[in-house]
Amino acid sequence: MQRRDALRWATALATTPLLRPALARADAPRWTTAAAPSLARQELYPEVLDGRLYVAGGLLNPNTGYSAHFESYDPATDRWTRLATLPEARHHIALAATGGQIHGVGGFSGGFPNWRAQAETWVYDPATNRWRDGVALPYASAEGVLAGLGGRLYLVGGRVREDDTARHFNRHVDTARGLVFDPARGGWSAIADAPTARNSAASAVIENRLYVVGGRQALRQPDGSLRQVNVAALEVYDPATGRWSVRAPMPQAQGGLAAAAHGGRLYVFGGEQWVPEQKVFAEAWVYDPAGDRWSALPPLPTPRHGLGAATLGQRIHVFGGGTRVGGDHASTVHEVLVLGEANS
């Protein structure tokens, strides 16, 4: 852990009542490591199915390269296994599971800056190790969040094309739109717009609600350039009512972060910032819905953005991502936050 991160963590403990007693507890959260993925990449949106972690696509080094690579991680053996590749290479492709299968949705094709959001979806069957075509989105989308909830898939936010000719990163705009896919009906339909339009956010499902946190907005300037401004907002969608609610924002705005749920709480990790200065975050936080409050966690040993996070048992696996601002410097780092009884 870097010295400045250790000092920041100590300060958070001293000022956060919720976490101060954890210093004396054997089950205080701590970081350890696990087997590295087989490929260095970033801009990852993983999923867990039947106790295994799955991750697809991603940006390579340099960021003009992007991948169709697909693999899974088994915590029982601490091994990664390469699986059938995506039908086409993608980065920022989002994964979510429903009905025992994994859906890969949207994402970008092309190396930077010639990114082009896509509308295709694919469905992976673990029993046959094969992908098949899914139901296309009604519009091309990338950098949104995707989650399986109640047997359906929910896609929220991200970047969409300005028009059908868009083939450049700058020709996309942030959206607050949301979609739901119902396998029984076989189609996508609109849900209520989120309160905040954003890209590069993170999400997790807690008690049958979708939590969307952090991210950034690409704000167009008078000269046509984009100013990347981070967002701290936390917003929650309840499928039972079809409504969004706004909760306490993150203690600081982090874009390109990762999130996972455990024990009814939301855990978030890392990210990057472009303005007012460029930096990659080590900070990690936990949100308690019961008290609508955030608390500091031990920071990431390796600061990263565009990383993936997933809960497997009593551990949250945080892997991949870029170690410097921007699309280069993808890593194979695999760090694990140990929680609860697994720490004793």
Nearest to 292 by CA among 266, 327, 325: 266
- How many CA atoms lie less than 13 Å away from 237 in the CB half-sphere? 30
| pLDDT value, residue 63 | 86
| pLDDT value, residue 25 | 62
Amino acid 137 reads L
Q: What is the 3-state secondary structure (H, E, C) of 49-78?
A: ECCEEEEECCECCCCCCEECCEEEEECCCC
| pLDDT value, residue 340 | 78
Helix (H) or strand (E) holding 204: strand 202-206
Q: Using one digit for the tens of pLDDT, what is the confidence trace for 307-336?
A: 999 999 999 999 999 999 999 899 999 999
| pLDDT value, residue 14 | 41
* Nearest-angstrom CA–CA distance, 50 and 165: 40
CATH topology of domain 26-343: Neuraminidase (2.120.10)
* Nearest-angstrom CA–CA distance, 219 and 50: 40
Residues of the chain predicted below pLDDT 70: 1-26, 341-344
How far, rounded to the nearest angstrom, does the alpha carbon of residue 114 sit from its chain's CA centroid?
22
Cβ distance 89 to 65 under 8 Å? no
**Which residue matches tokens 């694919």?**
122
Rg (CA), the chain: 19
What spatial distance separates the first Cα and last Cα of the chain, rounded to whole Å? Answer: 22
Residue 207: CB atoms within 10 Å: 10
Helix ranges (H only) for the chain are: 3-15
* Nearest-angstrom CA–CA distance, 130 and 222: 47
Amino acid 304 reads R
| pLDDT value, residue 5 | 46
Contacts of residue 177, defined as CB under 8 A and 6 or more positions apart, other chains included, come to 156, 157, 160, 190, 193, 194
| pLDDT value, residue 338 | 98
Residue 335: CB atoms within 10 Å: 20
pTM over 0.85: yes
| pLDDT value, residue 1 | 44
